[in-house]
Chain A
Amino acid sequence: MGAVHLQSATLGYGRNAVLHAINLAIPAGDFVVVGGPNGGGKSTLLKGIAGLLPLLEGTRSVNGVRFGYVPQQAAAEAPLPITALELVELGDLGATAGGRRARPFHLQCLRECRAEALAHRPFGQLSGGQRQRVLLARALAACPNVLLLDEPTAGVDVETQLMLAERLSLANREEGMSVIVVTHEPAVFDGIARRTLVVSAGNICEQP
Chain B
Amino acid sequence: MMDFLLTKPFFAALIMGLCCPLVGRHLVLGRSVLLGLALPQVSLTGVALVFFGAASGWGWCTAFTDDTTRAFFGAALLTLPVLFLLATRPRLSETTLAFVYLAAISIANLLLCGNAVGETYTQDLFHGRLLLISDANLAVLAATLGVCTAASLLARRRIQLTLLDPDFARASGIDTRRWNRVTALLNGAVICVAVAATGPLVTFGFLILPVLCAAALARSLRAHLALALAFGAGMAVAGCALAYQYDLPLGDCVVATGCVALLLVYAVRGCGFFK
**A-B pair number, CB within 8 angstroms:** 86
Q: Is the CB of A90 within 8 A of B161?
A: yes
Q: Is the CB of A94 within 8 A of B169?
A: yes
> At the interface with chain A, which of B140-148, B216-224, B230-238?
B216-224
Nearest Cβ distance between residue A149 and chain B, in whole angstroms? 11
What's the tally of chain B residues with a CB closer than 8 Å to chain A?
27
What's the tally of chain A residues with a CB closer than 8 Å to chain B?
32
Q: Tell me, yes or no, whether A138 is within 8 Å of chain B by CB.
A: yes
Q: What separation, in Å, do the CA atoms of A78 and B224 have in the docked complex?
A: 13
Q: What separation, in Å, do the CA atoms of A6 and B169 have in the docked complex?
A: 22
Contacts A90-B161, A93-B157, A122-B220 hold; do A80 and B171 have CB atoms under 8 A apart?
Answer: no
Q: Is the CB of A86 within 8 A of B172?
A: no
> Contact partner of B28 among A66, A79, A120, CB < 8 A?
A79
Tell me the chain B residues, 158-185 only, with Cβ under 8 Å from chain A. Answer: 158, 160-161, 164-165, 167-174
> Contact partner of A79 among B31, B161, B167, CB < 8 A?
B31
Q: Is the CB of A51 within 8 A of B171?
A: yes
Q: Tell me, yes or no, whether B25 is within 8 Å of chain A by CB.
A: yes
> At the interface with chain B, which of A67-75, A161-169, A198-206?
A67-75
Q: What separation, in Å, do the CA atoms of A73 and B28 have in the docked complex?
A: 19
Q: Is the CB of A68 within 8 A of B165?
A: no
30 residue pairs bridging A and B, Cβ less than 8 Å apart: A47-B167, A50-B170, A51-B171, A52-B167, A52-B171, A66-B173, A71-B167, A71-B168, A75-B167, A76-B168, A78-B29, A79-B28, A79-B215, A80-B28, A80-B29, A80-B211, A80-B218, A81-B224, A82-B220, A89-B157, A90-B157, A91-B172, A93-B169, A93-B172, A94-B172, A94-B173, A94-B174, A120-B219, A120-B220, A121-B219
A: residues with CB less than 8 A from B are 47, 50-52, 66-69, 71, 75-76, 78-83, 86, 89-91, 93-95, 100, 120-122, 138-139, 142, 148
